[in-house]
């Protein structure tokens, strides 16, 4: 598929985590190389990006990094691949973005976690994000799914969504109607002023929410959390019609 003019050319793939929730499957491999329905989680993300027309991927590595690098080598004809090396220190998602930012030329850019499985309907999810992006209003744009359709989720929902599609999560912890899918677009300006070497992307989200610059697009297809072993068979049963 030819890349449209609004689609960012670069995506950051978060692949450095230890996959603790996925044990024992991650005792000898990184979580992105765990398979669902015969396809690795990483390849599922790569398929999404290839179909959207993204040409450059930046992938952070820490846990079994050589396995990730070897797997990506087979995709050198499909993508311009850059590795953000976190072998010396696992920096969490926010710290990982800070370290990788010099490798990311685009503004905005996609950022995707490799622990979910989803299906589009008629329109590609990343194309919907790109078409919605408004740099005058947004620093963060997340793909979210209604909690009632969030397959295998172990959470209680992440965000509220107002009539103008702004995301928020003020107040005490409670069940919220929307779950983040692990897919987002970020403006480079929000990836700034790190509070430490190791910290969560929540820092960037909270800043954007406080400024009214964090928005959501509601995914209209299926989505499954496959971050823990039991979720794999449940997801495979669902996508095969079981």
Predicted confidence (pLDDT) per residue in 48-88, tens digit: 999 999 999 999 999 999 999 999 999 989 999 999 999 99
Contact of 106 with 10, CB cutoff 8 Å: yes
pLDDT in tens, 161-177: 999 999 999 888 888 99
Cα separation of 67 and 112, whole Å?
19
Strands 140-146 and 214-218: parallel
pLDDT at 122: 76
Question: What are the sequence ranges of the domains in the chain?
Answer: 10-239
Contact of 114 with 40, CB cutoff 8 Å: no
Q: Where are the alpha helices (DSSP H) in 12-107?
A: 41-52, 65-73, 92-100
In the numeric block, the tokens 């963060």 are attached to 140
| Full-model pTM | 0.94
Q: Where are the alpha helices (DSSP H) in the chain?
A: 41-52, 65-73, 92-100, 125-132, 202-210, 229-239
In the numeric block, the tokens 């490799």 are attached to 114
What residues contact 134, with CB distance under 8 A and at least 6 apart?
none
CB neighbour burial string for 208-231, b if at least 16 within 10 angstroms, e if fewer: bbeeebbbbbbbeebbbbbbbeeb
pLDDT at 242: 54
> How many alpha carbons fall within 13 Å on the CB side of residue 42?
26
**Residue 123's pLDDT band (boundaries 50, 70, 90)?**
confident
CB-based contacts of 200-208 (< 8 A; 24+ apart in sequence): 200/92, 200/93, 200/94, 201/93, 201/94, 201/97, 201/111, 202/94, 203/94, 204/94, 204/97, 204/139, 204/140, 205/140, 207/139, 208/139, 208/140
In the numeric block, the tokens 């979210």 are attached to 144
**Residue 135's pLDDT band (boundaries 50, 70, 90)?**
very high
Largest CA distance in the chain: 48
CATH architecture of 10-239: Alpha-Beta Complex (3.90)
Contact of 191 with 12, CB cutoff 8 Å: no
pLDDT at 105: 95
What token pair was written down for 143? Answer: 């793909």
Lowest mean pLDDT across 9-18, 53-62, 76-85, 118-127:
118-127
What token pair was written down for 66? Answer: 């050589």
Give the gyration radius of the chain's Cα atoms: 17
């Amino acid at each position: 598929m030819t890349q449209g003019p609004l689609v960012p050319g670069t995506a950051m793939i978060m692949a450095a985590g230890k996959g603790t929730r996925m044990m024992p499957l991650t005792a000898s491999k990184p979580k992105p190389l765990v398979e669902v329905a015969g396809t690795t989680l990483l390849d599922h993300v790569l398929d999404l990006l290839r179909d959207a027309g993204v040409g450059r991927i930046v992938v952070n590595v820490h846990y079994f990094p050589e396995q990730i690098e070897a797997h990506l080598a087979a995709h050198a004809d499909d993508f311009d691949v850059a590795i953000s090396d976190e072998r010396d220190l696992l920096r969490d998602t926010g710290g990982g973005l800070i370290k990788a930012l010099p490798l990311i030329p685009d503004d905005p850019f996609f950022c995707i976690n490799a622990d979910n499985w989803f299906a589009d309907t008629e329109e590609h999810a990343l194309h919907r994000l790109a078409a919605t992006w408004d740099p005058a209003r947004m620093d963060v744009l997340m793909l979210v799914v209604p909690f009632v359709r969030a397959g295998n989720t172990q959470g209680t929902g992440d965000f509220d969504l107002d009539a103008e599609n702004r995301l928020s999560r003020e107040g005490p912890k409670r069940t919220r109607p929307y779950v983040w899918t692990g897919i987002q677009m970020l403006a480079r300006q929000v990836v700034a002023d790190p509070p430490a070497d190791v910290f969560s992307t929540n820092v960037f989200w909270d800043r954007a929410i406080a400024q009214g610059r964090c928005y959501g697009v509601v995914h209209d297809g299926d989505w499954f959390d496959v971050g823990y072993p039991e979720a794999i068979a449940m997801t495979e049963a669902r996508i095969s019609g079981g």
